[in-house]
Each structure stands twice: as structure tokens, then as C-alpha cells.
Structure 1
């Protein structure tokens, strides 16, 4: 079993406080500052949900590469953007809380030598089987396009 960890620190009130986010397993992110304003108003600083979808996009790419390997499909490239939609709910202390409504992948992948149907099947399998997808309970959707118009071979 592998354990990876991250750390968040927060000081002060919900809207007026400040915090930092760090990766602990690696030193990739070291005390990146975040605030209410960076999360919800476009101010400079980290956004925890942005870190989640960045990791989710990386997880998706790796899942697709793994699935392709298992069925003998070559991967030239995979480029994935994950978009997280935030909404509101009634769970906050003032009756207004924040929620994640869903995640949408925009994938451009070059998997030469397979049909469009096989491409769609592999990209959908990766969406469902990525380890981060498995733990999230929000809708996770996908738009996947082929990066090239390579020769189609039946699989």
C-alpha cells in the first residue's frame, strides 16, 4: 500500500482568514497561500479544488495509458483538462455553503490504429476506473477527441 499526504493550514475566519496548502509526500507544493478571495473571487492564491482537478486530470491520463497498454494500444499523447463546477448548498453556518457539482474532462488523445468506437470505449473506461474518479460522488463527464486522423484498424 502506498500512502500520499498533503497538508492545509488555516488561520482566522472563513472570509477574512488565510491559509496554506502543501504536498507532504513530495515537495511539489510548499505552503501555497489561499484565502476566501482566492477560492471564490479570483484573487491571487491557491484554490484547493483546482489542485483536486489537476490531480484528477493526471490520474485520468495515467489510467488511459494503463488501459491502452493492457489491450495493446499505443499511446502517442494524452492531454486532459479537468473542469470542476462549484455550486452552493444550505450547509454553511449562514445557510449558504459551497459544493462541488461535477467534474468534466476535456481530453485530446492520440491513440493511433484504433476505431472511433474503440477510442470512445477506452476513454470512457479511464474516466470510470481512474482511482480519483472512484472516490468522488459527483458526476464526472467527459468529452474526448482524437488528436490525429490515423488509419483505423478494427479492434
Structure 2
């Protein structure tokens, strides 16, 4: 069964002076304000499309890694993933870097790194991105 998730943004004004509100329609869990300053200058009380992309990437990767480990008979105790998405004005999204630490009893560091690399390449968000994706994976 296919599931479609929806978010709506209402933008008012020009790119540089305007602002927008992003609503997570499907879940109704959050509404975020976005502005150019939040995107280009890192204003702390606003989000930006790259932060939202990082949230999608880190959660999707964690879920894919958890599934692969469990299917191989090594369910993880925990997985912590940070996705750092880099944006540069005039160039766009330059990449996503995944920083992963996990507790997985019964596997070696090399085995974990192989699972992490596979999840990096095959989680649905990674597959949807046309940007370089790098990773650092560490078994805790």
C-alpha cells in the first residue's frame, strides 16, 4: 500500500523580505516558520528546507538500518543518526553527511559499517536525493 505524506507551505512576500509557514499536514504535529535569513544565515528560531530534509534523511536512514540489522538477526538496541545537510546560496544543496552511532550486540565494527553503508545507499530518502551523501558510522 502506498502512503502519501503532505506538507503545505504558505509564503508571503519576496524571497528576501518575506516569510512562510510550513505545516505538517499529514500528521498535524508541527508548524514551522521559514525565512530567507533562516536559510542563508542560520537564524536560530526558524527552520529551513535543509533542516527539514536533514530530519527526513536521519529518520529514514535510522529506520532502514534498524530493519536491515533486525532482518540479519542482530536487532539494534539503539541508533542515533545526525544528518548534516549543507546549503550554499546560488549553488543549492551540496550534500548530506550522516553521523551514526549505534548499539548492536553481536556484530563486529566491519559488519556494522557494511550495514550502515547499505542503509546509506538504499534508504528511500537517500535514493530520492541527487546529491552526494557521505557517512560516518560507529558501533557504540
Q: TM-score, normalization: structure 2?
A: 0.94
Q: Distance between the aligned counterparts of 2:91 and 2:35, measured in 1? A: 14
Aligned-pair distance for 1:42?
Answer: 2.5
Q: Distance between the aligned counterparts of 1:143 and 1:27, measured in 2? A: 33
Structure with higher Rg: it is 1
Aligned residue for 1:85? 86
Superposition RMSD in Å? 1.1
Partner of residue 116 from structure 1, selected from 109, 117, 140: 109
Question: What pairs with 1:24-63 in structure 2 (closer than 5 Å)?
Answer: 24-30=25-31, 32-43=32-43, 44-63=45-64
Gaps of at least 5 residues in structure 2 are none
Question: What pairs with 1:114-153 in structure 2 (closer than 5 Å)?
Answer: 114-147=107-140
Q: TM-score, normalization: structure 1?
A: 0.85
Aligned residue for 1:104? 97
8 Å contact kept, 2:50–2:86: no
8 Å contact kept, 2:77–2:103: yes
Q: Distance between the aligned counterparts of 2:74 and 2:42, measured in 1? A: 41
Aligned residue for 1:152? none
Aligned-pair distance for 1:117?
Answer: 1.6
Q: Distance between the aligned counterparts of 1:105 and 1:75, measured in 2? A: 18
Gaps of at least 5 residues in structure 1 are 89-96, 148-155
Q: Distance between the aligned counterparts of 1:74 and 1:36, measured in 2? A: 42
